[in-house]
């Protein structure tokens, strides 16, 4: 009777184990990119497609307010899904074109296969000379193809959008935690 619940927990755990093995280096690279950008006075923008939008908003919130201790806010903005363009696909891109500057960072999240709004935001970011951190799934066919050599992809080892969404939340918490530890090492002691 409880087998479906146990199966979901098992799948979560298996994805966690695979992620722990595969994602250490890209997570550290992404954290380093965030820290370098923040210490240089740059802005971080974040956006997500569908289920990933909530994780993008959460990242902006914890980067502004702090995760582990009181600290000055980091300049991070979540792009709004209900704001801007007459054409739905350009909602995030217009915000990047209006505010993004060379050296800023776009954190792009996608839990599914395609991400038309996120892809357009990435194209806008590239046109502005911005760097990109992409959190994607093994099912992604849009986002990864837009990354350059200076960008970072954290590809969650799952094709199940529910498992990927769970990991997106964990990863944004992890990125904020790592950024706080690197920028304020005295608070980690």
pLDDT in tens, 149-181: 999 999 999 999 999 999 999 999 999 999 999
Mean pLDDT across the chain, nearest whole number? 91
Listed by start position, the domains of the chain span: 3-184
pLDDT band at 189 (very low <50, low <70, confident <90, very high): low
Q: Check whether 6 has a pLDDT greater than 80.
A: yes
- Nearest 10 degrees: CA dihedral of 126, 39, 73, 175? 70
**Which helix (H) or strand (E) is 78 found in, with range?**
strand 76-78
State the chain's maximal CA–CA distance in angstroms: 55
Question: Which pLDDT value is given to residue 43?
Answer: 97
Q: What is the CATH number of domain 3-184?
A: 3.40.50.10490
Average pLDDT over residues 141-146: 85
% of the chain at pLDDT higher than 90: 69
């Amino acid at each position: 009777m409880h087998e479906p619940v146990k199966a979901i927990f098992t799948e979560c755990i298996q994805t966690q184990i695979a992620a722990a093995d595969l994602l250490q280096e890209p997570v550290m690279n992404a954290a380093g990119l965030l820290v370098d950008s923040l210490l240089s006075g740059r802005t971080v923008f974040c956006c997500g497609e569908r289920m990933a939008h909530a994780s993008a908003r959460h990242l902006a919130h914890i980067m502004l307010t702090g995760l582990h201790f009181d600290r000055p806010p980091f300049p991070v903005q979540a792009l709004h899904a209900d704001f801007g363009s007459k054409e739905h696909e350009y909602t995030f891109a217009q915000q990047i074109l209006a505010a993004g500057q060379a050296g800023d960072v776009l954190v792009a999240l996608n839990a599914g296969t395609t991400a038309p709004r996120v892809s357009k935001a990435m194209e806008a970011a590239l046109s502005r000379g911005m760097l990109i951190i992409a959190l994607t799934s093994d099912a992604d066919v849009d986002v990864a193809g837009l990354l350059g050599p200076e960008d970072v992809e954290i590809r969650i080892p799952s094709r199940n959008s529910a498992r990927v969404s769970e990991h997106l939340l964990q990863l944004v918490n992890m990125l904020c935690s790592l950024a706080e530890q690197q920028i304020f090492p005295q608070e980690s002691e």
